Amino acid sequence: MGVRKPAVLVMLLLGGLLTAGCDDDGAAAGEPGAASTSAQPTAAVNGVERLTAQEILDRAGQASLAAGSVRMRGGFGKGGLQFRMDVRSSAPDRAMGEVTFGDNSLHLVRIGRTVYMKADDAFWRELGGRAVVDMMSGKYLKATIDDTNLRKLKAFTDHRELLGDALRSTGALTKGTTAMVGWNSVITLKGGDIGNIYVSTVGQPYVLQLEGTEKERLDFSDYGVPVSITPPPPNTVIDADVFKKLGGDIDRFPVEI
128 is a domain residue: yes
Average confidence (pLDDT) over 153-170: 82
138 is a domain residue: yes
Pick the closest to residue 254 from 120, 162, 110, 155 (CA basis).
120
User: Could you read off the pLDDT of 11-21 as tens digits, one per residue?
Assistant: 444 444 333 33
Q: Residue 30 pLDDT > 70, yes or no?
A: no
Q: Left (φ > 0), alpha (ψ -120 to 50) or beta: where does 247 sit? A: left
Using 50, 70 and 90 to split pLDDT, how confident is the model at 254? Answer: low
2 is a domain residue: no
pLDDT at 15: 43
Range of the domain at 38: 8-245
245 or 238: which leads in pLDDT? 238
39: domain CATH number is 2.50.20.20
253 is a domain residue: no
pLDDT at 29: 31
pLDDT at 213: 67
Using 50, 70 and 90 to split pLDDT, how confident is the model at 153? Answer: confident
User: Could you read off the pLDDT of 112-147 as tens digits, one per residue?
Assistant: 999 999 998 888 888 888 889 999 999 999 999 887
Using 50, 70 and 90 to split pLDDT, how confident is the model at 225? Answer: very high
233 is a domain residue: yes
114 is a domain residue: yes
pLDDT at 27: 38
pLDDT at 48: 97
3 is a domain residue: no
Tell me how many domains the chain contains. 1
Average confidence (pLDDT) over 149-165: 81
256 is a domain residue: no
Using 50, 70 and 90 to split pLDDT, how confident is the model at 22? Answer: very low
pLDDT at 40: 47
